[in-house]
Amino acid sequence: MKSWMKSWMKSWIMLALWLVASLAVAACAGHDWATPAELARAAAGDDSLRSRLLVEWRMPRVLAAALVGALLGISGTVFQGVFRNPLAEPYLLGSAGGAGLGAAIALLVPIGIPQWLLLPLLAFAGAWGATATVVMISRIAGAVDAAGLLLAGVAVAAILAALRSFLMLALSDESVSLQVVLSWTLGGIQTPTWSGLGVLAILVAGCVGLTLRLAKGLDVLGLGETMATSFGFNVRNFVAVAVLIGSVVVATAVAYGGLVAFVGLASPHVARWLMGPLHRQLLPASALIGAIVVTIADALARSILPPTEIPLGLITAIAGGPFFIVLLARRLRS
């Protein structure tokens, strides 16, 4: 018991240190690397152009990346818990397709609402609306189980992706190119203002609170549907509620970061290796791991190919994929 406690504490401290380190490195990283001294000077209120860039642009972006990563980690954990499937990921039930369509509308259709507001709003609405539609379809079909949800999800995602592609081809022109929409779908942290960052932080805290309330149910569901039902647990209702909450989390992530591949899939696995299967620990640990991964990936995206920025989702997939394979192989061998 004592050694278990010790390794548990060690894991938490290690994750916290990793997060602090990655935030520090990411704040330095860019096409022009900043020294810690420059960062300190900027934070102290220096008024050079470069300091303003660091304070008004880079620092909020680094923190936003961490928060988006946390959301992806949480939502991945919820989805893997609900589907009791290690391959489940946050975008499984149409949220990617819905967010993509919402973003395409926001970017291409002149509606008269400023884009900084419209884009996250429609991305959120699309992501959540798509998943809600999937849940509704499988309810109407009387199949609110993993297979029913997944099949409805595949169908809805296909329709939404096709609609998005048509909008992209039809509405792009010399001024708004396909590339704008494509690049959004490949992920990229929208840099919020400091007050916008505050809003995001509150949203993340809310998401953590909501999903922690699911922790116990997810643990029970992990025993298997039959076992859970025999405990008097209403599996169908819980699945629907958990999926809808999980998709609120992923929709928030999508609104601020576009579609970031792979983090939602990998973070819960790493968290499970460190913390074991109980969701009360798993959810916050996965949030920390997601935050670390996206912070580092975003720093790479901003710095390795000057003068251009690589879409974040490409970095997380290219760098995260092999990393995950190595971890998996080591895990399976031991």
- Binding positions for other proteins, rule: CB under 8 A: 30-32, 49-50, 52-53, 56-57, 107, 115-116, 169-170, 172-177, 179-180, 183, 191, 193, 302, 305-310
Amino acid present at 278: L
> Shortest approach of other proteins to residue 31 CB, angstroms?
4
CB nearer to other proteins: pick between 53 and 278 = 53
> Shortest approach of other proteins to residue 128 CB, angstroms?
24
Distance, CA of 101 to CA of 294 (rounded, Å): 24
Distance, CA of 24 to CA of 75 (rounded, Å): 25
Q: Say how many Å lie between the first and final Cα of the chain, rounded.
A: 22
> Shortest approach of other proteins to residue 57 CB, angstroms?
5
b or e along 78-116 (b: 16 or more beta carbons within 10 Å of the residue's beta carbon)? Answer: bbbbbbeeeebbbbbbbbbbbbbbbbbbbbbeeeeeeee
Q: What is the 3-state secondary structure (H, E, C) of 268-321?
A: HHHHHHHHCCCHHHHHHHHHHHHHHHHHHHHHHHHHCCCCCCCCHHHHHHHHHH
CB nearer to other proteins: pick between 150 and 178 = 178
> Shortest approach of other proteins to residue 322 CB, angstroms?
22
Compute the C-alpha angle 181/183/184, nearest 5°: 65
Distance, CA of 37 to CA of 118 (rounded, Å): 38
CB nearer to other proteins: pick between 314 and 327 = 314
> Shortest approach of other proteins to residue 254 CB, angstroms?
17
> Shortest approach of other proteins to residue 189 CB, angstroms?
12
Residue 219, token pair as written in the block: 């643990």
Distance, CA of 304 to CA of 325 (rounded, Å): 23
CB nearer to other proteins: pick between 110 and 209 = 110
> Shortest approach of other proteins to residue 44 CB, angstroms?
17
CB nearer to other proteins: pick between 57 and 231 = 57
Residue 301, token pair as written in the block: 């995206």
C-alpha separations of 313 from 42, 176, 187, 268 in Å: 29, 21, 5, 18
> Shortest approach of other proteins to residue 176 CB, angstroms?
6
Residue 334, token pair as written in the block: 């031991």
Query: What's the gap between Cα 291 and its chain centre?
Result: 9
CB nearer to other proteins: pick between 115 and 234 = 115
CB nearer to other proteins: pick between 45 and 142 = 45
